[in-house]
């Protein structure tokens, strides 16, 4: 089983608006409402892969009730802590004629220390026997930036493998807590190492730097693939994988799908090359659909055969 944690869950509403222009009145041709937040997106993708998953986190107010209802409607097992504040709503506009995606995200609720402690207690229970616990997304207001780092240390003492996918100070603090895996996108990786990443040497430097900060494994998601530093047994591999070009409908959440498929492959004890190939293919398949975390596994299987995989220079010992 995999447990995903979404501390700043949202109700995501996506409107499809052809020829969208700022300042004009439009009618959407399609509307989609889903429970959202990075951890929930990962859970949705794992559900499509038929991997046992439980989504947890914080949910409050009428919006929080709707988030739980949407998850239940998708048959995604969930166990959220109810909080006093109102969960956030996110609105996005997709223009299929230009391929643009415009997002407007609310800040999210304020969260008390007592509510965080209830979440930690729930995590202690849910993490028993879990293959992974995934901490993903931003933190709500009033939550300390050390929250993810504290959870990583707590669960690591309980022999639980923890994955972190966040940004900014919460991500930097979590990396230093030595999680099993961190999965930043390129921009988030640049924040961690303090410089732009443009070529192979830059990315190799970033992989080394992030592991030296504390992460045991690193998966940097890119626009069409990923670059990874992976420890399997006593051997360390640094691999690069790129998917063939597909015409995107919406790229939002593709990194969450990539991470979900990678973890599913690790749970199945697949070799690192195959895990990355499947992960990148799933991420590519997800850009063909509107709605974060949604993809067709059969389409992904077809793309996997065309994924380009290469080994980068040996990791420093």
Assess contact for 59 and 33: CB atoms under 8 A: no
Q: What is the pTM of this model?
A: 0.93
Spatial distance between the Cα atoms of 177 and 90, rounded to a whole number of angstroms: 30
Higher pLDDT, 314 or 25: 25
Name the pairing type of β-strands 10-16 and 30-36: antiparallel
Mean pLDDT of the chain: 93
Q: Hey, is 80 helix, strand or coil?
A: coil
| End-to-end Cα, the chain, rounded Å | 33
How far does CA 128 lie from the centroid of its chain? Answer: 22
> In sequence order, which ranges of 214-288 are alpha helices (DSSP H)?
254-267, 272-286
How far does CA 54 lie from the centroid of its chain? Answer: 15
Spatial distance between the Cα atoms of 10 and 30, rounded to a whole number of angstroms: 20
State pLDDT tens for residues 294-314.
999 999 999 999 999 999 875
State pLDDT tens for residues 77-87.
999 999 999 99
Mean pLDDT across 160-183: 97
**Is 201's pLDDT higher than 70?**
yes
What are the chain's domains? 1-143 (3.40.1190.20), 217-317 (3.40.1190.20)
Q: Please report which confidence band the pLDDT of residue 316 belongs to, taking 50, 70 and 90 as the band edges.
A: low
Element (H, E) at 157: helix 147-157
Spatial distance between the Cα atoms of 70 and 76, rounded to a whole number of angstroms: 9
């Amino acid at each position: 089983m995999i447990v995903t944690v979404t501390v700043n869950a949202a109700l995501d509403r996506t409107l499809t608006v052809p020829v969208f222009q700022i300042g004009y009145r439009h009618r959407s041709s399609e509307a989609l409402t889903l429970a959202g937040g990075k951890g929930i997106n990962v859970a949705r993708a794992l559900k499509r892969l038929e991997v046992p998953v439980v989504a947890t986190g914080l949910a409050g107010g009428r919006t929080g009730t709707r988030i739980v209802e949407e998850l239940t409607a998708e048959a995604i097992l969930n166990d959220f802590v109810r909080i006093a504040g109102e969960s956030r709503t996110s609105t996005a506009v997709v223009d299929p004629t230009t391929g643009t995606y415009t997002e407007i995200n609310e800040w999210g609720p304020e969260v008390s220390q007592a509510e965080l402690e209830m979440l930690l207690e729930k995590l202690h229970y849910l993490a028993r026997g879990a293959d992974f616990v995934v901490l993903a997304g931003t933190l709500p207001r009033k939550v300390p930036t050390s929250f993810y780092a504290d959870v990583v240390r707590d669960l690591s003492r309980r022999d639980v493998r923890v994955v972190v996918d966040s940004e900014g100070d919460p991500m930097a603090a979590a990396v230093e807590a030595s999680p099993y895996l961190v999965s930043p996108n390129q921009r988030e990786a640049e924040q961690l190492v303090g410089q732009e990443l443009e070529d192979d040497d830059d990315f190799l430097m970033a992989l080394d730097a992030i592991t030296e900060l504390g992460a045991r494994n690193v998966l940097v998601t890119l626009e069409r693939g990923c670059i990874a530093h992976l420890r399997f047994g006593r051997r360390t591999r640094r691999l690069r994988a790129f998917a063939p070009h597909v015409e995107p409908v919406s790229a939002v959440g593709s990194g969450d799908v990539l991470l979900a498929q990678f973890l599913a492959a690790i749970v199945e004890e697949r070799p690192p090359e195959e895990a990355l190939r499947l992960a990148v293919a799933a991420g590519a398949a997800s850009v063909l659909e509107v709605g974060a975390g949604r993809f067709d596994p059969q389409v992904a299987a077809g793309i996997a055969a065309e994924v380009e995989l290469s080994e980068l220079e040996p990791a420093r010992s």
